[in-house]
Amino acid sequence: MKRMTAGLRKCGMLVIALSFSALAMAQQKPQVVILATGGTIAGAGADATNSATYQAAKVPVDKLIAGIPQLNDIASVRGEQVFQVASESLRNDNLLTLGKRVSELAKRDDVDGIVITHGTDTTEETAYFLNLVVHTDKPIVVVASMRPGTAMSADGTLNLFNAVSVAGNKESRSRGVLVVMNDEINSARDVSKMINIRPDAFKSPWGALGMIVEGKSYWFRRLDKRHTNASEFDIDKIKSLPLVEIAYAGGNVNDTAYRAFAQAGAKAIIHAGPGNGSVAGPLVPVLQDIHKQGIQIIRSSHVNAGGFVLRNAEQPDDKYDWIVAHDLNPQKARILASVALATTNNTKELQRIFWQY
């Protein structure tokens, strides 16, 4: 009887020791929160051959996490469903809600990194917004997929695994908001969706920051523009975003969209022009008139692979008091203008901001 009692005590002590060991190991893992917003990564198609025809935003975050048990090997993961929408339907209010939640989590001691699952249509816009307004050096990673999880060669599972790996990696700190897809780590500031039907859709004209191979990150460069902790913008102080619209200009352009946006109350209009943000002759007096109404005119380029707009080239921007978007594409120029106009409407200050961010 005594031997049995002693044996039970030893077993009990072993169980307790193993429990403490398991707890210690769990505490050593990075604590990563996955904020889900919907998109293709949470989508489902009717058939495994449907890689481009499907319904987005169908799978909740708990099922996304449960579908990748290997996440437990690299991090302690928990999920939150912030929205469940296709990303083309996201509004400024959604950006503010998401940004404030990311900021709250980043301040917590029990959070080492944050992953946001997102639809690809506006991934670059949401990621750039967070890059501008969330003050933290903790990794914030936006991840998406080009194919739903029901498709052959679905990319979402590996993308999410890689995103959690990057978010939990201390080497990812202080690099700004990151976009992880197709084994690449790109800066939220630079990356854009270049094609809509392939898993290698997201590219930066200036190159990736790094890449992931079998869960390990390899880094090659850093972002030199201002972001996160170095940003003058703070999500905790932003209550609303001014209306900024994009007017696309090509051959045979007219002034209909520009005048309509001005009448609708836009505080700035992004001119998405060809080449160097070129402005057709008949549009020049129209844009001058609109600017006299207090509406900022920002010249950008709709060139896909890195439109670089030079000030006072093509148009005398100093004379007209216009702004150039530097190398930001029209949709990112809209995001930066919205954030900046929440604090200033001074043209020179706005141009400084476009150079620095």
Distance CA 56, CA 60 (A): 11
Question: Quick one: which H or E segment has residue 337?
Answer: helix 330-341
| Radius of gyration from C-alpha coordinates of the chain | 24
Q: What is the pLDDT of residue 288?
A: 98
The structural domains of the chain, with segments of one domain joined by +, span 21-230, 242-356
Q: What does residue 235 show for φ and ψ, rounded to 5 degrees?
A: -60, -30
Q: Which residues carry out catalysis?
A: 40
CB 151 within 8 Å of CB 48? yes
Distance CA 300, CA 324 (A): 6
CB 129 within 8 Å of CB 339? yes
CATH of 21-230, one of 3.40.50.1170, 3.30.360.10, 3.40.50.300, 2.40.430.10: 3.40.50.1170
Question: Quick one: which H or E segment has residue 119?
Answer: none
Mean pLDDT by 10 residues, the chain (357 residues): 57 52 66 94 72 71 94 97 94 98 98 97 98 98 90 89 98 98 98 94 96 96 97 97 97 97 98 96 98 98 86 96 97 98 97 98
Residue bearing tokens 């990696």? 169
Q: What is the pLDDT of residue 46?
A: 67
For residue 215, the one-letter residue type is G
DSSP 55: B
Distance CA 51, CA 44 (A): 9
Residue 141 bridge partners (DSSP): 115, 178
Q: What is the pLDDT of residue 17?
A: 45
CATH code given to domain 242-356: 3.40.50.40
Residue 193 bridge partners (DSSP): 202
Q: What is the pLDDT of residue 105?
A: 98
Q: What is the pLDDT of residue 322?
A: 98
Q: Which two three-digit tokens encode residue 8? A: 């039970």
How do strand 202-203 and strand 192-193 relate by DSSP bridges? antiparallel
Q: Is 174 exposed, middle or buried (0-12, 13-18, 19+ CB in 10 A)?
A: middle
Number of helices and strands in the chain (H, E): 11, 14
Q: What is the pLDDT of residue 43?
A: 72
- Widest CA span in the chain: 101
The full DSSP string for 138-204 is S-EEEE--SS-TTSTT--HHHHHHHHHHHHT-GGGTTS--EEEETTEEEETTT-EE--SSSTT-EE-
Q: Do domains 21-230 and 242-356 have the same CATH topology?
A: yes
